[in-house]
């Protein structure tokens, strides 16, 4: 007679585990047949559930954090983030309306029992508890810059803006032309060819002669200058309106012929338009414009930027919503913001709504709303078209503004400078950012420094020295700095080192980046810049190819500024 092997009991094995590790525990049998173990492990309280079938065990760390219920959006955001990045452990939360708190839980599940695995998972629970609370505290610190209860959306916008600021913190590349071919995301409801060229490459003396368009299914030719200026680049590929809009072709090549300069010499700009997909709201096309290289002359020296290729790539969008739908959306958001302000509900308003409340004119509020939407979506060209209308309207009343109105005006000014900086139009960016660079907002100062560093502005060093001195006066020495201020100082140091290279001060740059080799936040950036410095020295014959000296890091603890 064959004897059937008895199935292992998860419940019995787990109870033995608790005894072996001297865990205090209680056992409770529920009506559904499940067995619950409330136990203590390394000063942490856990609950384990074994189902009636005795075929799995579910372990919960009931409270890894408790926060006020007003911070629910941020809790939800952090739980989603950690759940996406963690296969074994899951993060959930429950609301206690009586205590006005949110409790965060951590749990894991096994369909068999192994003592060693259980031990490792329980220990790992403490690690992931620390990880979650650290991330949450850091996010909460950032979100305190905003008065909105919707911390999740405001934090996302803040983090995205910081990402964009970091993206502009360039490192040097061997090929000086490649970095001019970066992509820029933009779009516009008024995206005519003439307006686009006016923004990205002003040519006030240019006279349009003709334009040819070649695509797989058709060819077009224009000779009327006004027709060329008013041509909507999105219509090179897209046909139809509203929900009927669709991609009619995959690409189109345009040759724009124009004359400029005293000699009225004919020149040609090449414009390539390609399809970039669509979603339920918009159709996207990429526009890459290449302007001609000018010959050297008495008026156009070898060092002039017009002697080098000038290309720009933009992702533009045609929104399916018609103007009436956009008007309705704006009026809903504007009215909602005004009602909340009237009822004293400022705490439930987003930053964008708080800015909208400072505008009395419907036309200006419309431009502000859609300018902010375009900015948040990285549609920088379209944002410029809207926000410049708002800026020009606000500017006239600058000296009569309330504190809130002035704060809104400076934020609009900053965003305009940001957009121009993304398009590498540094003179226009500096014009706006110079108004905001000393208002005490770290984001505004960072963008000003990015503009000065990337445009090789000689004022960068005196400006950053003044900022560092102000940080010292307000926060003390380096070991006393809050984390966000420390990150800001590191950013300033990296930008100064980058600028020293641009001005051929390689020894000073090398000193800064060598010190950063010992610093976790700066090491990767420093390695790239030191490699670039080494390449420069080799090209100049300062260091033989076969014998490159090792760079010794400075002693740890050396002050960074």
DSSP string, 335-362: HHHHHHHHTT-GGGS-HHHHHHTT---H
Judgement on whether residues 269 and 354 belong to the same structural domain of the protein: no
Q: What is the pLDDT of residue 464?
A: 93
Would 195 be classed as within a structural domain?
A: yes
Please check the confidence at residue 47 and state whether its pLDDT lies above 90.
yes
Is 560 contained in some domain? no
468 & 488 share domain: yes
Do 412 and 359 fall into the same domain? yes
Tokens of 66: 């408790």
**pLDDT exceeds 50 at position 248:** yes
64 pLDDT more than 80: yes
**Residue 171 placed within a domain:** no
Same domain, 375 and 497: yes
Shared-domain flag, residues 312 and 355: no
For residue 302, what pLDDT is reported? 43
CATH for 20: 3.30.1460.10
Summarize the confidence of residues 98-120 as an average pLDDT: 86
pLDDT tier at 368, thresholds 50, 70, 90: very high
For residues 341 and 314, membership in a common domain is answered with no
If asked whether residues 248 and 316 sit together in one domain, one would say yes
291 lies in the same domain as 361? no
Kindly report, residue by residue over 396-455, the tens digit of the pLDDT. Answer: 888 898 988 999 999 999 999 999 988 888 999 999 999 998 888 889 999 999 999 999
pLDDT band at 142 (very low <50, low <70, confident <90, very high): low
Domain hosting residue 456, numbered range = 324-539
The CA dihedral of 271, 274, 278, 282, to the nearest 10 degrees, is 10
% residues pLDDT > 70 (the chain): 81
- Does residue 185 contact residue 379 with C-beta atoms inside 8 Å? yes
Q: Phi/psi of residue 252, each to 5°? A: -150, 145
- Among the ranges given (42-46, 83-87, 541-545), the one the predictor scored with the smallest mean pLDDT: 541-545
The span from the CA of 62 to the CA of 46, in Å, is 6
Q: Are 525 and 482 in contact (CB under 8 A)?
A: no
- Shared-domain flag, residues 394 and 509: yes
In a shared domain, residues 335 and 243 = no
Residue 369, SS3? helix
Q: What is the pLDDT of residue 157?
A: 56
- Burial (Cβ within 10 Å: 0-12, 13-18, ≥19) of residue 219: exposed
Do the beta carbons of residue 246 and residue 282 sit within 8 Å? Answer: no
Q: Cα dihedral angle (300, 303, 309, 313), rounded to 10 degrees?
A: -110
Number of domains in the chain: 3
Neighbours of 411 (CB within 10 A): 21
Q: In CATH, what number is assigned to the domain containing residue 373?
A: 1.25.40.10
pLDDT in tens, 162-203: 666 666 676 776 543 333 322 323 334 457 888 888 877 767
Q: What is the pTM of this model?
A: 0.61
Q: Is residue 546 part of a domain?
A: no
What is the arithmetic mean of pLDDT over 155-166?
60
Strands (E), 200-299: 207-214, 219-222, 238-239, 246-247, 251-260, 265-278, 282-291
Residues 268 and 315 in one domain: yes
């Amino acid at each position: 007679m064959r004897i059937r092997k008895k199935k292992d009991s998860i419940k019995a094995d787990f109870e033995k585990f608790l005894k072996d590790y001297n865990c205090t525990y209680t056992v409770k049998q529920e009506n559904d047949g499940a067995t619950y173990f409330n136990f203590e492990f390394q000063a942490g309280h856990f609950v384990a559930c074994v189902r009636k079938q005795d075929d799995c065990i579910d372990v919960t760390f009931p409270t890894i954090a408790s926060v006020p219920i007003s911070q629910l959006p941020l809790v939800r955001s952090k739980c989603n983030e950690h759940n996406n990045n963690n296969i074994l452990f899951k993060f959930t939360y429950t609301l206690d309306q009586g205590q006005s708190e949110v409790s965060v839980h951590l749990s894991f599940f096994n369909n068999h029992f192994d003592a060693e695995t259980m031990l490792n998972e329980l220990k790992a629970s403490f690690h992931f508890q620390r990880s979650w609370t650290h991330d949450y505290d850091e996010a909460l610190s950032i979100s305190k810059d905003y008065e909105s209860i919707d911390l999740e959306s405001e934090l996302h916008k803040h983090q995205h803006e910081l990402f964009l600021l970091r993206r502009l913190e360039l490192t040097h590349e061997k090929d000086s032309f490649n970095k001019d071919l970066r992509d820029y995301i933009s779009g516009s409801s008024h995206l005519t060819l003439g307006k686009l060229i006016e923004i990205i490459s002003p040519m006030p003396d240019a006279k349009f002669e003709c334009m040819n368009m070649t695509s797989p299914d058709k060819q077009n030719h224009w000779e009327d200058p006004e027709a060329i200026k008013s041509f909507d680049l999105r219509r090179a590929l897209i046909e139809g309106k509203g929900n009927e809009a669709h991609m009619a072709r995959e690409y189109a090549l345009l040759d724009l012929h124009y004359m400029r300069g005293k000699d009225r010499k004919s020149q040609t700009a090449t414009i390539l338009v390609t399809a970039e997909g669509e979603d339920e709201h918009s159709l996207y096309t990429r526009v890459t414009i290449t302007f001609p290289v000018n010959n050297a002359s008495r008026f156009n020296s070898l060092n002039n930027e017009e002697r080098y290729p000038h290309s720009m790539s933009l992702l533009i969008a045609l929104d399916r919503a018609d103007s009436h739908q956009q008007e309705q959306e704006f009026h809903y958001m504007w009215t909602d913001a005004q009602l909340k302000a009237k009822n004293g509900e400022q705490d439930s308003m987003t930053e964008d709504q708080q800015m909208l409340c400072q505008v009395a004119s419907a036309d200006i509020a419309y431009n502000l709303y859609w300018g902010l939407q375009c900015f948040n979506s990285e549609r920088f060209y379209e944002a410029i078209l809207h926000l410049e209308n708002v800026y020009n309207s606000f500017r006239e009343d600058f000296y009569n503004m309330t504190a809130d109105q002035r704060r809104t005006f400076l934020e609009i000014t900053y965003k305009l400078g940001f957009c121009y900086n993304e398009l590498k139009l540094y003179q226009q960016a500096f014009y706006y950012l110079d108004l905001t660079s000393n208002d005490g907002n770290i984001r505004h100062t960072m963008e000003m420094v990015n503009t000065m560093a990337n445009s090789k502005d000689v004022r960068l060093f005196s400006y950053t020295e003044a900022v560092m001195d102000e940080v010292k006066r307000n926060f003390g020495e380096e070991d006393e700095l809050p984390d966000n201020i420390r990150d800001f100082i590191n950013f300033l140091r990296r930008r100064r080192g980058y600028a020293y290279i641009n001005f051929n001060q390689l020894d000073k740059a090398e000193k800064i980046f060598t010190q950063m080799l010992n610093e976790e936040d700066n090491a990767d950036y420093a390695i790239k810049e030191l490699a670039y410095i080494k390449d420069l020295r080799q090209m100049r014959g300062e260091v033989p190819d076969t014998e490159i000296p090792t760079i010794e890091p400075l002693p740890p603890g050396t002050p960074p500024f």
